[in-house]
Structure 1
Amino acid sequence: MADTKQSERHAERKAAKLAKEIGSFSRAHGGAEGQLAYLGQAGTRIVLVGEDGGWGDLVAPTHAIAAAAAEQAGLTLHEAFDGELAAKVRTGPYEWTRMAGIQVGGPAGG
């Protein structure tokens, strides 16, 4: 029973920390929307897209923690990373060079 309460407190602290990071991203980018992507045993990725086209991500150890963090931060979530959400993302030279490097043997480490 004590382990369960300790585990719940840990999950609450982790969700609160992630919510704070989401809020910081949102303030820096004029607002934000997101999507939760299951990563298997690694957890769940919280993909963030700012109103200015900036993007980033965070990884939560579980889907429940990711969902709690998004809710605490007031993040609007999309079911999938496509359509309207994907169209908001703005990439720069770094991303294009890195993507090209991965595909055609160019600079891969960025």
Structure 2
Amino acid sequence: MRARQDGVVVPRHNAGMLRAVRGTFLLRDVRDTRLNRHVRTAMFHCQDGQILRLSDACLVHASAEMLVINGFEQGTNAGCQVVDYAQSWILMEVEGEGAQPSMGPAFPR
């Protein structure tokens, strides 16, 4: 689940509306041509084929139940400029064998 929308933390009482997706998590250094350096990048390969990316990824919490990763997601603003938005991912082990529906609408980016 993403805990922020356009860099703004989703209030705790709205957490049930966050979109939850299933997939595979990967963390590695990737060359970023825009920054002209290697960046630790978290990637989440969703079951629907979408790949979510989090640049400058940092592990901020780890327990048997969940991982919390902070970093920046790229998006575009109204002026079509590339913008880095602060983001937090909450990763948990999936329950059950079949895919579950998301808990909210798809994020626009």
TM-score range, shorter chain: 0.3 to 0.5
Q: Based on CA coordinates, which of the two structures has the bigger radius of gyration?
A: 1
1 or 2, which has the higher helix percentage?
Answer: 1
Normalising by structure 1, we get a TM-score of 0.32
Relative to the length of structure 2, the TM-score reads: 0.32
Structure number with the bigger relative contact order (C-alpha 8 A, sep ≥ 6) is: 2
